[in-house]
Each structure stands twice: as structure tokens, then as C-alpha cells.
Structure 1
Amino acid sequence: MLDRRYQVFVATSGLDMSPERRIVAQTLIGIGFSSWCVEHRTPVSTAIARRQIDESDYVVILLGSKYGDCSVSGVSYMHLEYIYAITKQKPIIVFIHADPRNRPDELQETSLQAKEKFNNFRKQLQHEVDQVFFYRDLRDLELIVRANMLHMLECFPVLGWIRPQNMQILQDRIDALNAKVNQLERELKKCEHDMVAICDVSVEDIYCFRYRIQAYQDGYVHEMEHERSEDWGQLLYVLSKVFKTLMPEECFAKCLNDYLNETALAELRITMPQVYAVGRAQIQVQHLYHIKLQMRQNEWILPAHRDERHRMLWKLSSKAHEILETYIQQQNRNFQLNSNSYSNL
């Protein structure tokens, strides 16, 4: 089991929140988090806080009854840390004292301007952050932090980091995955070699492929596997009906399967005269792959470009249009000759 840890930056108003900050830090350590916090505020501390936020997985805002020390801009350092965390898209969780007015006088803001800034910031957090929780005392804060930080892992999963002593376990897993990838790549190359032997073909050449289909006979469904022989011209003619316009690659399978559903019944009745319906035809994957590559090899149906969903779109080529015209004319002549021969009989 990898010993994973998560880094948390805790933003507070300053030294007035030291007891709460210690409780949060101790609680976080107990549940697998490490925490950073900058309590002594100076212009230099702003750069340190930002670097720590950059390296943190989560940001905690811990708000008591003070707005905190302010920068030269008049905005408190805690407020600036909150704004910076938002710009870095860090998951933020806020723990707010439920009754700040009843905290000791020394923990209250003394000026009306500071109190107004505190109240505005308190409202802003409640309005902008989804994960906001209220506590009344230190024990209450401990329980709330323990429960809701674990919930943050589920709602906002992050990579975290692995303790160095467990790096060997991680490296072993990486090595095992690399070996698996190499094995799969070798198997893929072998499959491609076994499945496809691509060369130029003419429309008169015959291609044999296999497909599965369901045949309905005597109230039962029979799973069948059959072989079909078609010349490449017929296959091109079938596909041309779909790829006259730009269509996604998956239409190869749908078009051929629809064609088999329409034509397989007569073929099956030769050996199964009682079959009255067929459906759910599915050409074997290696033959589908071969047909697709052959269409591309012959420059009959070619990939054109990708759509807004990044799907490759294919289209019938001008070369294929010319070939089909000749092929259809020849098929019509053959049909006419066969009809005349039949009439003479």
C-alpha cells in the first residue's frame, strides 16, 4: 500500500488564530495531511505563502473574528491568499467561527473599518465557496476538520505525493506497467500482421469474409456464423451510399452490418429453408479492419478531416465515383445479357 500524503495551506488572520491553527495542523497530520501556514505577516511572507499555495493540494481558510493584518493595498494577507488560491484553481475549504462577536475582546477588531472588512469577507466566503463549515470551540473544530477534509478527498481528488521510502514500490509498479505496455505493443503488431495483407485490388476481385448473425426458425433464435464472398466493386457500392458525404469511421461497421441484415436471409435459406427472419448481423473485426484499410489503400474512401468532437471523417473519393460509374454500367449490361439468355430459353 502506497503511503500517500496531501499538502494543505492554512490561511489565517495571524497570531490571534494560533490555537485554532495548531488544532487544525494536529488533526490534519492524523488523517494523512501535512500543513503550511504563515502567521507572521510581512511583504516578504506574501511570496512565501504563494509558493506554498502553488505546492499545496488544498487550501484551508480559517476565519475567527479578525480580518487580519493588511498589505499596503488595504487588503488583508489572508484575503490575498484566498484570491491567489482561486486564481490557481486550488480546492478550498473554509472553517468559520459561528459566533465571532462572543470571542474575547483581545481577539476583536478595534476599528470600524476593519470590522466592516471582516464582515464583508465573511459574507464573501459564504457566497463564493461551496465547502463552508462553522465551529464553536476547539473540540468542535477538530471534529469538523477531521470529517470534512476526508470528504474533500472524495469530492476533489488530487495526486498528492508519495513518501520517499515507498518510491521503490512505485518504481516497481511503473516497471511492471512498462513491461505490460511493451507486451501489448508486440501483440498488436503481430495481430496487424496476421489480420491484414494489403495490396491493390480491382473491383472484379473477390473478397471472402465472415460474419455472425441471428436466424429465426421455429420460434427459436439461432446464432450463426457464415462466410460471404463479394467482389470489391459490390463492397464499394454498398459503402458509397453512406460515404457520399463526410461520415465518421464507425459508419463502416454499421453500413456493412445493415447490408448483411438485408441480404443474408436468402443466403441462409439455401441450407435452412424454414428460416423466416434474420437480424443483428456483425462482421468480424479483422475483416472489417481489412475492408477499411483496402478502401484507403485503393484511394476509394479516404479520411478527410476531424469534426468538432475530434472524430475522423471519411468520404468517397472522386476516383471511386468514376470507378463506380463504370462498375454499375457493367453490372447492368451483365444483368441485361442474363435476362436475354433466360428469355431465349
Structure 2
Amino acid sequence: MLDKRYQVFISTSGSEMQPERMILAQTLVGMGFFSWGLEQRTPLSTAFARRQIDDCDYVIMLLGSSYGEQSVSGVGYMHLEYIYAVTKQKPIIVFKHEDPASRDEALRDAKPEMREKFKEFSQLLQNEVDQIFTYRSLRDLEMAVRLNMSQMLERYPAAGWVRPQNTQLLQDEIDSLKAKVAQLETEAGKREVDPFLTLPKVSMHEVLSFEYRMHAYQDGNFKELKVQKKLTWAQMLAVLGTTFMNPTPEEYFSKRMNEYLNEHGLSDARVEMPRAHAVARAQINIRALHSIKMQMRQNEWIVQSGRDDRQRMLWQLTPKAQKLLDSNLLDADRSFQLKSNY
């Protein structure tokens, strides 16, 4: 077996979590992980934290009883690191204290508004993260890490890092896996689309409703909103179609959708925040994005087109969809100006 190591980014609220952070880091090292993270944050350190998240295999959110220091936008640095990890689709695991109110008063936020932010962030993690575990003591934390980080490797396999002398073994393993993947893709044919073969094809005028999150700004304040967006399938094809004129990596589904939502989300934000003047960081629900992609494939609007040199799956518009884009069928339903950078 390859001598593989994994990089983990640890995000905490700050220095009050030092004992837990030390136990977590020591346990991870003993299990063969490299741990990263910043305890002292400033606006200048945000870019560095993001680079660490970009390069890591897993992200751990270690939550005690404090929201932590806030950025200039009023959002905590730990909260921002979580949002960034989600946008990068990093596997996230949360270890949170079982009873924050039982911790020493000095370890909790003093101001009521900060305690409320802590509760909201804690609930956000509870609602959105699949892998979330509680602890009460440092010993509980150590045991939870030992048990659940091993399971994370099985549930969310990552490339990791291999010692230089083992790179040939890794390359041999990669070549072997590539050959197996090619064989399976050939043999399976259309089998991989079985989960959505039962999807009925949609018509251009049918309306799709999906959820997304964004940051909205009003009167100098910042708020994260979760809203519903409605588009006809004609509009959806118009949004995504020009991006996939040529074979394009799968990640551009989310990139293009999020760009569109940033461009057109202000009217959605104003339903809840009438004086909102700007929106940013729009993020479509991952499940909704998957459903959109599968429906477009079922409608024969997109098709897989091999892989690039980085082994990323490529997708391309079909001639059928191209004819729809070139026709007047979309123009009658189009309530926005197409914009694409690709």
C-alpha cells in the first residue's frame, strides 16, 4: 500500500480553542495527516487561509462556544472559511461541543448579538454538513477524531500526498485505475444514467424552482439569504448553453450558474431586504445543480465528451440544443441578456 498522507485545514473561532486545537492536531499527526490553519486572523491573512483550503484534502470545523473574531463585513473568519470550503466543494467534517452553555464564561461570547451569531452559525453547520459530531471533553474529542477521520477517508477518497520514492507506484496505480475506468465506461454504456432514465423530458415553457444562497448588502449591513429561484427550461438552456458550445469541464455548470445568480440575484434579495443594493457569493444548491445537469442530459441537450488532460469530465452541447439556441423558441422566453465569458 502506498505511504499516503492527507492535508487537513483546521478552522476554529480563535485562541479560546487552543486546548482542543492541540489535541486535534496531535491526533491527526498520529494518524498520518498534515494539519494547517490559522489561529490569529486579520484581513491580510484571509488570502493565505484560502490558499491553504485550496490545497487541502479535508476541512475540519472545530466549534466550541464562541463565534470568534469578525471580518470587516461582520462575518466571522471561521464562518468565511466554511463558506469558502463549501464553494470549493471540500469534504467538511464538524466537531462541535455538546453543550456550549456549560463551558467557562470566559470561553463564550460576552455580547448577546455575538451569542446569537454563534447559535445561527452552529445551526447552519447542523443543517448543511453531513459529517457532524459532538464532544464534551478533550478525551471525547480525541476518540471522535480517531473514529471519524478514518471513515472520512473511505467516504470521501482524496488524492493525498505520497513520498517521492513511491511516485512510480502511484503512477502505476493511476494507470491501472485509468484502464479500469475506460473499460467500465465502455461496458456500462448508458447504464450510468439509469438513476435518471425515469425522468420525463421537460418542455421549454415548464418552470424549474431551485434553491440558492447569496450574500446581500443593505444599509451597510450584511446578511446571508437562502432563496428560491424560478426559471423556465428555455431560460436555463440559454444560461448554460453558450458555456458548453465546445467540450468544457463539468465544474463550469456551477461556475456559470453562480455567475448568473450573482448577476440577477438582486431582485430576489429585495423580496426580503427591500433596500438591498448589492449581492455577492451566490451559490446554487448542489443537489439542485445535479438535477439540472441530469435533466439537460435526459432532454438530450448535453452529452459527455471525454476527459481532458487533468482527467476532468467534459460536457458539450448537442446539435439538438444548438438548434434550440439558434431558433426563436428561446427568444420568446428569454427575459435576460445572455452573458458568457467562455
TM-score, normalized by length of structure 2?
Answer: 0.51
* CA spacing shift, 1:2–1:71, aligned 2, 3 Å: same
Task: Indicate whether 1:111 and 2:111 are aligned.
Answer: yes
Paired residues, number: 187
Tell me the amino acid that sits aligned with residue 132 of structure 1. Answer: I
Partner of 1:156: 156
- The offset of 1:170, in angstroms, is 3.4
* Separation of aligned partners in 2, 1:42 and 1:110: 21
Cα distance in structure 2, aligned partners of 1:176 and 1:85 = 31
Q: Distance in 1 between matches of 2:123 and 2:174?
A: 47
Deviation at 1:167, TM superposition (A): 2.5
* Closer, same or farther: CA 81–164 of 1 in aligned 2, 3 Å: same
Q: In the alignment, which residue of structure 2 is the partner of 1:120? A: 120
CA distance in 1, matches of 2:43, 2:25: 24
Residue 176 to residue 93, structure 1, CA distance change in 2 (3 Å): closer
Task: Give the structure 1 partner of residue 210 of structure 2.
Answer: none
Q: Is residue 165 from structure 1 mapped to residue 165 from structure 2 by the alignment?
A: yes
Q: 1:177 to 1:127 in 2, by over 3 A?
A: closer
Query: Deviation digits for residues 78-120 of structure 1, max 9, x if unmatched?
Result: 0000000000001111000001111112111010111010011
Tell me the residue number matched to 1:69. Answer: 69
1:26-78, Cα deviation, whole Å (9 max, x unpaired): 11112221110100111111111100000011110000000000000000000
Alpha-carbon distance in structure 2 between the residues aligned to 1:127 and 1:36? 25
Matched, 1:86 2:86: yes
* Structure 1: segments with no counterpart, 5+ residues: 182-306, 312-345
Deviation at 1:24, TM superposition (A): 0.8
Secondary structure, aligned partner of 1:41 = coil
Runs of 4+ in 1 over 3 A off after TM superposition: 168-178, 307-311
Deviation by residue 1:126-161 (Cα, 9 ceiling, x = unmatched): 011111100001000000011001111111111112
**What's the secondary structure of 2:70's corresponding residue?**
coil
Q: C-alpha distance in 2, partners of 1:58/1:100? A: 25
* Aligned-partner Cα distance in 2 for 1:63–1:162: 31
Match of 1:51 in 2: 51
2:56 aligned with 1:42 = no
Structure 1 residues 130 and 170, CA gap change in structure 2 (3 angstroms): closer
Distance between the aligned counterparts of 2:177 and 2:147, measured in 1?
Answer: 35
Q: Residue 71 and residue 173 in structure 1: after superposition, are their counterparts in 2 closer, same or farther (change >3 A)?
A: closer
Distance 1:144 1:176, change over 3 A: closer
Whole-Å separation in 1 of the counterparts to 2:157 and 2:99 = 32
Q: Distance in 1 between matches of 2:107 and 2:177?
A: 55
Aligned Cα root-mean-square deviation (Å): 2.6
- Residue 72 of structure 1 aligns to a residue whose secondary structure is coil
The correspondence of residues 1-345 of structure 1 with structure 2, limited to 5 A, is 1-170=1-170
CA distance in 2 between partners of 1:28 and 1:111 (Å)? 34
Deviation at 1:308, TM superposition (A): 6.5
Q: TM-score, normalised on structure 1?
A: 0.50
Percentage identity across aligned positions?
Answer: 62
